[in-house]
Structure 1
């Protein structure tokens, strides 16, 4: 060990961002292992070896650590109080005495042994640093560059690591072209034996939420809140918003001047349609809003069963239900209520049938 080696370690610390103390602790562990393997003798055993490295000049010293006792039962691990006081008068029983037992040329022998352990520890430390860095981005947005597609997976460059977009996290109909940059939602960051793994998504509702947070200052400030989101990625999303300030329109804030804010989100999601809904603590009002762009005539909400019967004008029925039931399906997910929609003519017909049934039963009772 010499100054050149110390300088090399300093460079590793600076380049890799690894703790200097960790590097030296690793080297000391390796030196202890090397000593035990090659030099352990009557002065030391596998338990009482200590190696110290001078961080300034790289000088290595090996010590046999012995406990101060009144009566010696084990020469290797114990030293008498009398001998200890010859070394330093301040020693008392149960103190630990370090006796130097550094072999000649030990540094060269130990360096070979330490190299592999230090390299491994550096790799582990680098992985941990990267893991912690990306773990902090979990449930947030990150920008990735498309690298390749393989067996249904899309691999993206996230900077210091590759991310994976699984089949269920890919937007229907979206093409992933080499070198294309995309905003991604970080679903999970895991530590594995092969290093950190980052799973990202283009379909998660959290992506819509984070995109609006980026575009709408009122959401960043906490004036406007996103209460819930329902999404069928690549096709349509509904987002329910609420304002804590009566003077601020939450829907207008999210749409932005000339629609610039919502359009930025739509563009990032490759023209996915987005309905911005005004949230209400009144379930009937919220359910009516959630079926936008359809106009609702009435809502009867049953709090106990969390189900609602909704009536719309005949010309609004197909709009309320949506293509293949998408609009009502997203509204149900947004509100977390079961929604049964009928046209006004259907509702009136059912009411008439009920009235006729009641009249018939009354006549039968009279007879």
Structure 2
């Protein structure tokens, strides 16, 4: 039987790719359990399986101690020296205790454990194999579809594509070969699980890398992607070589490169725009196909108002706000789109709602600075300072102060003249 087991190990190694050492280790561990269970033994034992000869031997391992208190685990130094004078305290001595019928009993008991270890080893191999494909595109075959998942056969494992990772409206047929993006590979109690996607933004990134050599070699870089899978995507690209047009490179001659990607995504619309370090220019590009008249920033809120011609307002916003929404995701700015006429009205309303004191002219302040001649000049000047600080713009305040100073001097001259009279 042991020779047959050795041959079985060889077959497992050749056909399933499981290392002989892994199986041997699992078998020896299982045989230790089998021995203790079937022979009601509690001592420390080792099982040695010779995978070449097919022999199995069981050894009881005892430690050399000064005084033996447990004969199943220890042996006294005096007894050890009778066996070999070289033994010292702390040494381990192995005694063969292999039962005559151990091969039959041990194999029956260990079968379940061995098979479990083999399954675990197979799972580890599959996990290691498919982990290298994480964040990459792989081709598989559609096996079945239900209300929650599309099951894709990747060869040695069946991957799942949840509804959230599917392109809306995409229909698959059995045995259809499709490209998928490997989102994650993880270990579970039931073995490795591979989750794939066709809706992920990085699926689009990998498709561009496959179709555009300049992206793959780094000459052209994809800076960001905003995608609503199955409907429309915006891709921001830039070139590391001034002689290479990033947008034209991605589009390809007569649009062949981008068309290949669009066909793979069943007609998903694609806007390829050039990234620019100037936020205003980048936002203009991101609003494609709409023309942008002006971009006004609110840096405190990382937002901006994009002004477009009246006749292009609906184009800039897009169907159900899609163009504006994708542009905002692509640029990371909160975007408010206004037509030229709406923006003019908006600015006029802002002007009308400014605090009244900010629109006051100096001529409107005569009542404020018209001091009675009998009022003390210092008090008048102090009053003018308070008015200037509380209600005026800095430039108006300075003018008012000059005017108040002059009025105070005139009042002082009038008072002196009256005293002399």
TM bracket, shorter-chain basis: over 0.9
Unaligned runs of 5+ in 1: none
Q: In the superposition, relative to structure 1, how do residues 87 and 219 fare at CA in structure 2: closer, same or farther (>3 Å)?
A: farther
Q: In the superposition, relative to structure 1, how do residues 77 and 283 fare at CA in structure 2: closer, same or farther (>3 Å)?
A: same
Alignment deviations for residues 110-155 of structure 1 (CA, whole Å, 9 cap, x no partner): 1112222111111111112112222222222121212222224222
CA contact (8 A) 1:283 1:301 kept: no
CA contact (8 A) 2:2 2:56 kept: no
- Structure 1: how far apart are the matches of 2:14 and 2:33? 27
1:268 corresponds to: 264
1:175 corresponds to: 171
2:13 corresponds to: 13
- Structure 2: how far apart are the matches of 1:223 and 1:2? 61
Q: In the superposition, relative to structure 1, how do residues 36 and 365 fare at CA in structure 2: closer, same or farther (>3 Å)?
A: farther
Within 5 A, what are the aligned runs for 1:263-342? 263-342=259-338
Establish whether residue 22 from structure 1 lines up as the match of residue 22 from structure 2: yes
Q: In the superposition, relative to structure 1, how do residues 215 and 88 fare at CA in structure 2: closer, same or farther (>3 Å)?
A: farther
User: How high is the TM-score relative to the length of structure 2?
Assistant: 0.81
Q: In the superposition, relative to structure 1, how do residues 115 and 356 fare at CA in structure 2: closer, same or farther (>3 Å)?
A: closer
Q: How many residues align?
A: 363
Bigger RCO (CA 8 Å, 6+ sep): 1
Within 5 A, what are the aligned runs for 1:1-367? 1-40=1-40, 45-354=41-350, 361-362=359-360, 366=364
3-state SS in 2 of match to 1:225: strand
RMSD, matched Cα: 2.1
3-state SS in 2 of match to 1:296: coil
Q: In the superposition, relative to structure 1, how do residues 162 and 365 fare at CA in structure 2: closer, same or farther (>3 Å)?
A: farther
The structure with the larger Rg is 2
Q: In the superposition, relative to structure 1, how do residues 3 and 362 fare at CA in structure 2: closer, same or farther (>3 Å)?
A: same
Unaligned runs of 5+ in 2: 366-421
- Structure 2: how far apart are the matches of 1:366 and 1:46? 107
- Structure 2: how far apart are the matches of 1:253 and 1:47? 73
